Amino acid sequence: MNATPPPHPSRLDPTRTDYALIMRAHDDAVATGQRTYLDPRTGLVVQTRTAHLQRGSCCDSGCRHCPWV
What is the spatial distance between Cα 61 and Cα 14, in angstroms, rounded to a whole number?
Answer: 20
Query: Which pLDDT score is estimated for 58?
Result: 95
In the predicted model, what is the mean pLDDT of the chain? Answer: 94
pTM of the model: 0.90
Quickly count: other Cβ atoms within 10 Å of residue 24's Cβ: 13
Q: Which amino acid is at 69?
A: V
Q: What is the DSSP letter of 33?
A: T
Residue 60 pLDDT > 60, yes or no?
A: yes
Residue 42 pLDDT > 50, yes or no?
A: yes
What is the spatial distance between Cα 45 and Cα 39, in angstroms, rounded to a whole number?
Answer: 6
Go through the chain and tell me how many residues it has.
Answer: 69
Residue % of the chain over a pLDDT of 90: 91
